[in-house]
């Protein structure tokens, strides 16, 4: 970690070197460690230290971006000149207005020293606990334990200056036997929140209960989706439809539907980068403060997120959801929340006469983006429910299901939620009990 003073000094040096009309420098520092285990042994154990300098140069309506991870004076001079050179070489982009101007930045604590200090030895000890428990149950453990310190600094020639350190920790566990598997995971900015033994026991319990799975006929069934599966659906909703550019280009399921009901009334989804129960960060990659954006409120399509480029097209202000430039996919929500309900998973289970319990999804992809139809497989704990009780494991199934239709038939929502790590943030999701979910195929295990 370079720290705020050193990062500011580098950023100021870059701005001073630039001859562009407007210049932005984004510094991304990373000190990440990851321990992977498989077959109940640590087989990969890595550490990375890197600082990337990303310069965006503006000449009128022309924008060029250059990056480098060499902090020497010569390299910084080169990257600044390169950004302007490629900006000047291109035709004007009429949609580009300006880099963002400074706005007051909120404060949110997202750096935890315990995470930054978490050593390879500590990770090994916690993994040893999981592997030992697995072996005692004649099972095989695999998974990954990540601890990461990140530092983000944005400085532009219009006066924006933003700096924040943040930490991320994430433990995923898959426990297997010859004919069963179970999954559990935990994520938090603070590694002290992660109880490795508890996560290991959750996955072991699933693996022990998913032996001797039977095939069931693909059909529409009532389903209980655990938080892991719900988070996966929310991730794809964000990717397909919650960004302003997707709406402007007509490829979002939110396009032309604002003010209309698109899910059941019991569904509310929002993005909040300042909520400490997520993976908070006070600003985006343009240094714009993050705003809470209500995406779906009581089933009604309400809003999408903006970066400065997409906002300027509509004469709006950015909501603080820019990704690092250049970004042709548009703004994205990275701190999603779904409103919890009041049910327990036991109450959900008791309410299902005949149906399925799904732990998580695997290899999900959109089949029809505009209708938000997804396909994917179930994995690591799929069970048959009869008369309100789990009757045994079933072979994994393929689903092909419209997300909005599924969220229109949510019978119960859990009070408990889980934080699941996303590529750039996190998703806090409840479990859902859904009246109908379309399973279209079955596999052999």
With binding defined as CB under 8 A, does residue 327 bind other proteins? yes
Strand duo 426-442 + 397-402: pairing = antiparallel
Residue that the structure tokens 């042709």 belong to: 328
Binding mask 172-201 for other proteins (x = CB under 8 A): xxx-x-------------------------
List the interface residues with other proteins, window 406-445 (CB under 8 A): 440-445
CB atoms within 10 A of CB 3: 13
Q: Where are the beta strands (DSSP E) in 387-421?
A: 389-393, 397-402, 410-421
In angstroms, what CA-CA distances link 324 with 30, 64, 139, 304?
A: 15, 13, 42, 18
Closer CB to other proteins, 172 or 408, in the complex: 172
Of residues 245 through 264, those in contact with other proteins by CB under 8 A are 249-251
What CA–CA distance (Å, rounded) separates 276 from 334? 14
Q: Indicate which single residue of 45, 137, 177, 344 sits in contact with other proteins (rule: CB under 8 A).
A: 45
Does 210 contact other proteins by CB under 8 A? no
Contact 337, 275 (CB under 8 A): yes
Q: Applying CB under 8 A, what is the total number of residues that bind other proteins?
A: 92
Minimum CB separation from other proteins for residue 105, in Å?
Answer: 27
| Choice between 52 and 317, CB closer to other proteins | 52
Nearer to other proteins, 8 or 395 (CB): 395
Q: Is residue 339 involved in binding other proteins (CB under 8 A)? A: no
Which region, judged by CB under 8 A, interacts with other proteins, from 222-230, 268-276, 332-340, 396-404?
396-404
* Dihedral angle computed from the Cα positions of residues 59, 63, 68 and 74, in that order, rounded to the nearest 10 degrees: -10
**Which residues, numbered 20-39, are part of the site for other proteins (CB under 8 A)?**
32-39
Q: Closest approach of Cβ 69 to other proteins, in Å?
A: 4
The CA distance from 206 to 180, in Å, is 8
* Tally of CA atoms within 13 A in the half-sphere of 74 that contains its CB: 0
**Which positions from 218 through 247 interact with other proteins, judged by CB under 8 A?**
none
Residues 87-126 that bind other proteins (CB under 8 A): 87, 89-95, 119-121, 123-125
Q: State in angstroms the smallest separation of the CB of 159 from other proteins.
A: 24
Q: Which is nearer to other proteins, 302 or 396 (CB)?
A: 396
Which residues neighbour 246 within 8 Å (Cβ) at sequence distance 6 or greater? 240, 252, 254, 255, 304, 330
The smaller minimum CB distance to other proteins, of residues 12 and 39, is found at 39
Which residues, 125 to 144, sit near other proteins by CB under 8 A?
125, 127-128, 131, 140, 142-144
The tally of CA atoms less than 13 A away on the side-chain side of residue 237 is 30
Q: Which is nearer to other proteins, 272 or 284 (CB)?
A: 284
Q: Between 66 and 288, whose beta carbon lies closer to other proteins?
A: 66
Find the shortest distance in angstroms from Cβ 31 to other proteins.
10
Range in contact with other proteins (rule: CB under 8 A) among 220-228, 321-329, 334-342, 344-352:
321-329
Contact stretch for other proteins (CB under 8 A) within 16-24, 168-176, 231-239, 384-392: 168-176
Residue 300 interacting with other proteins (CB under 8 A): no
Q: How far apart, in whole angstroms, are the C-alpha atoms of residue 405 and residue 409?
A: 7
Interface mask toward other proteins for 357-376; x: CB under 8 A: -----xxxxxxxxxx-x-xx
Beta bridge partners of 101: none
Q: How far is the CB of 316 from other proteins (least distance, A)?
A: 20
Choose the stretch contacting other proteins; rule: CB under 8 A; options: 59-67, 191-199, 270-278, 315-323: 59-67
Decide: residue 94, CB within 10 A, 0-12 exposed, 13-18 middle, 19+ buried: exposed
Alpha-carbon distance of 218 to 227, in angstroms, equals 23
Q: Per rule CB under 8 A, is residue 65 in the interface with other proteins?
A: yes
Quickly list H helices, 169-323.
Answer: 196-209, 227-241, 244-248, 308-313
Tokens matching residue 135: 């072996």
Angle (CA) 130-136-138 rounded to 5° is 100
Beta bridge partners of 188: 169
Please identify, using beta-carbon distances, which residue of 4 and 369 lies nearer to other proteins: 369
Contact (Cβ atoms closer than 8 angstroms) between residue 189 and residue 112:
yes
Please measure the distance between the N-terminal and C-terminal CA atoms of the chain and give it in whole angstroms: 45
Cα separation, 101 vs 104, whole angstroms: 10
Phi and psi angles of residue 93, each rounded to the nearest 5 degrees, phi first: -105, 105
Return the number of the residue (346 or 365) whose C-beta is nearest other proteins: 365
Pick between residue 345 and residue 379 the one whose CB is nearest to other proteins.
Answer: 379
Q: Rule CB under 8 A: say whether 400 interacts with other proteins.
A: yes
The reply on whether position 66 binds other proteins by CB under 8 A is yes
What stretch of H or E contains 23? strand 22-38
């Amino acid at each position: 970690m370079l720290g705020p003073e050193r990062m500011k000094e580098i950023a100021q040096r870059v701005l001073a070197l630039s001859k562009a009309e407007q210049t932005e420098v984004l510094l991304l520092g990373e000190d990440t460690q990851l321990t992977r285990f498989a077959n109940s042994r640590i087989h990969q154990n890595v550490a990375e230290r890197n600082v990337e300098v990303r310069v965006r140069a503006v000449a009128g309506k022309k924008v060029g971006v250059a990056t480098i991870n060499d902090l020497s004076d010569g390299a910084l001079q080169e990257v600044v000149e390169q950004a302007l050179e490629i900006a000047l070489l291109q035709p004007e982009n009429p949609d580009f207005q300006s880099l963002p101007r400074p706005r007051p930045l909120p404060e949110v604590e997202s750096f935890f020293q315990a995470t930054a200090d978490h050593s390879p030895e500590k990770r090994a000890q916690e993994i040893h606990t999981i592997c030992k428990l697995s072996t005692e149950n004649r099972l095989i453990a695999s998974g990954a334990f990540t601890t990461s310190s990140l530092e983000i600094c944005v400085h532009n020639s219009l006066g924006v200056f933003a700096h924040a350190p943040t930490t991320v920790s994430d433990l995923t566990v898959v426990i297997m036997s010859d004919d069963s598997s179970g999954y559990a995971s935990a994520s938090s900015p603070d590694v002290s929140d992660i109880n490795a033994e508890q996560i290991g026991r959750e996955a072991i319990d699933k693996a022990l209960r998913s032996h001797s799975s039977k095939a069931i006929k693909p059909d529409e069934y009532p389903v209980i989706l655990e938080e892991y599966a719900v988070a996966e659906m929310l991730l794809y909703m964000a990717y397909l439809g919650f960004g302003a550019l997707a709406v402007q280009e007509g490829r979002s399921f939110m396009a032309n539907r604002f003010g209309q009901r698109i899910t059941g009334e019991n569904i509310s989804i929002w993005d909040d980068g300042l909520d400490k129960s997520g993976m908070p960060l006070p600003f985006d990659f343009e240094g714009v403060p993050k705003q809470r954006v209500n995406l779906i409120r009581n089933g009604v399509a309400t809003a999408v997120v903006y970066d400065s480029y997409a906002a300027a097209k509509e004469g709006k202000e950015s909501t603080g959801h820019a990704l690092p430039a250049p970004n042709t996919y548009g703004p994205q929500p990275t701190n999603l929340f779904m409103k919890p309900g009041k049910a327990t998973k036991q109450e959900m289970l008791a309410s299902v006469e005949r149906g399925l319990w799904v732990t998580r999804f695997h290899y999900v992809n959109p089949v029809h983006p505009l209708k938000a139809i997804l396909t994917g497989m179930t994995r690591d704990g799929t069970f048959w429910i009869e008369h309100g009780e789990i009757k045994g494991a079933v072979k994994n199934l393929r689903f092909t299901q419209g997300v909005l239709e599924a969220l229109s038939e949510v019978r119960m929502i859990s009070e408990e939620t889980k934080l699941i790590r996303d590529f750039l943030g996190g998703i806090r999701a409840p479990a859902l009990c859904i009246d109908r979910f379309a399973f279209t195929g079955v596999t052999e295990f």
